[in-house]
Amino acid sequence: MAKVRTRDLIEEFQLELISGEEGINKPIVTSDLSRPGLEMAGFFDYYPAERVQLLGKSEMTFFDKLSENEQRIRMEELCRDITPGIIITRDQEVPRELIEASERESVPVMRSRMKTTRLFSRLTNYLESKLAPTTAVHGVLVDIYGVGVLITGKSGVGKSETALELVKRGHRLVADDCVEIRQEDQDTLVGNAPKLIEHLLEIRGLGIINVMTLFGAGAVRSYKRISLIINLELWEKNKQYDRVGLDEEKLKIIDTEITKLTVPVRPGRNLAVIIEVAAMNFRLKRMGVNAAQQFSERLTDAIVEDGHEDM
């Protein structure tokens, strides 16, 4: 099923449909847009017909200078069967030649009051968001001090209970149990909750609770960029866990690598506080303050000094 169709653009941006109504269900397959200036001059060798086409003041002014025969040919070339739509900006008059060609090929022609650059920017942002690669993971996403922390782990390890404690401590829940993730940029992952379970937490023994109803609108948010992954696992006696923090593990989701920490779970450990501190420490690292690195440098200096004293 197509994620975005031409009719979605009409509704989202309140576009006026001029002609080509039969094609409003055409799928839009790319977030790239086209301003066919070269095509208006007759160069169609690399015409990206699969993109939404924007005709601004420059294109239409040049079009008006063409002969009637050239105008007809250009518009016929613009309207291909795979073209999802053509948008005339600045509320300009739609050429008769374009209306006729669009009706033949069922290419929707729409009109907007917005300036071309403004509409271009808004359309690009909208399409990139809708057409971004997506996946879903089992976990809990919480906004902790502005850091999007994705808490993962096997079922029953205590993810939701930890999230509840974090919410009580003033942090914000984004999603519980299932986190929908989309890659909005090369290194940007954004997570949100499916509409069906938005604002809900499942606590074993209590059942389903509505976080927004219990703690207020300030305890939830709709989406958040994921910056840190914390994996909870039951403590294994013979497993070696990181005690310094020099080595940084990464987990790849879609095409983006995210810093991952593994936190062992055992009775008496306050997971909410540990995760809270992990988020604060992550922020410090991004600001250039790395406690583990500073400790390592101090240790190296101490060893060097001891070596000099023994000589």
Binding residues for Mg(2+): 160, 202
285 is catalytic: no
∠ CA 105-110-35, nearest 5°, is 85
204 is catalytic: no
269 is catalytic: no
Catalytic residue among 159, 172, 182, 199: 159
Residue 55 forms beta bridges with which residues?
88
Alpha carbons 61 and 109: distance in angstroms, whole number? 18
- 3-class DSSP state for residue 173? strand
Amino acid letter for position 7: R
Q: What are phi and psi of 207, to 5 degrees?
A: 100, -150
Catalytic residue among 138, 204, 250, 298: 138
Residue 33 forms beta bridges with which residues?
52
Residue ranges of the annotated binding site are: 153-160, 202
- 3-class DSSP state for residue 73? helix
H-helix segments, 48-174: 57-64, 68-78, 96-105, 116-131, 159-168
Inter-residue long-range contacts of 208-215, CB under 8 Å, 24+ positions, other chains counted:
209/164, 211/167, 211/173, 215/167, 215/168
169 is catalytic: no
Residue ranges of the annotated binding site for ATP are: 153-160
Residue 222's contacts (CB-CB under 8 Å, 6 or more residues apart) are 174, 192, 193, 198
Catalytic residue among 195, 237, 239, 243: 243
Catalytic residue among 177, 225, 283, 285: 177
- 3-class DSSP state for residue 209? strand
DSSP3 helix / strand / coil % (the chain, rounded to 5): 40, 30, 35
Helices (H) and strands (E) in the chain, counts: 10, 17
Q: Which residues are part of the catalytic machinery? A: 138, 159, 177, 243
